[in-house]
């Protein structure tokens, strides 16, 4: 949990939003007194999905998971 003052929140709002989107709890305080909690709207919490890198992996050879010769001595 992070607590920042209102002034700090004004100066670093985009960074605080990013941190909240990554799951961190952000409290904005008036002086030392907690006043507001920055929370993510549930619709913005996107779950990771399998196959989400379709546009990143362009080609994968058939033997991509074959044992490597360098590690032969460690294999059972």
In this prediction, residue 19 carries a pLDDT of 93
Q: What is the CATH number of the domain that holds 9?
A: 3.40.1620
> Residue 74, SS3?
helix
Per-residue model confidence as pLDDT tens digits over 11-56? 999 999 999 988 899 999 998 999 999 988 877 666 666 666 666 7
Evaluate whether residue 20 is within a structural domain.
yes
DSSP assignment of 6-55 equals HHHHHHTHHHHHHHHHTT--EEEEETTEEEEEE---GGG-PPP-TTTTTT
Question: What is the domain extent for residue 16?
Answer: 1-42
Evaluate whether residue 29 is within a structural domain.
yes
Per-residue model confidence as pLDDT tens digits over 53-70? 666 767 778 888 888 889
Q: 2-5 and 33-38: which strand pairing?
A: unpaired
Predicted model pTM: 0.55
pLDDT of 5 strictly over 80:
yes
């Amino acid at each position: 949990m992070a607590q920042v003052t209102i002034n700090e929140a004004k100066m670093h709002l985009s960074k605080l939003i990013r941190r909240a989107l990554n799951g961190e709890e952000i409290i904005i305080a008036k002086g030392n007194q907690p006043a507001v909690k920055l929370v993510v709207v549930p619709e913005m919490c996107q779950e990771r999905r399998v196959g989400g890198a379709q546009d990143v992996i362009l080609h994968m050879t058939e033997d991509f998971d074959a044992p490597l010769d360098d590690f032969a001595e460690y294999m059972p």
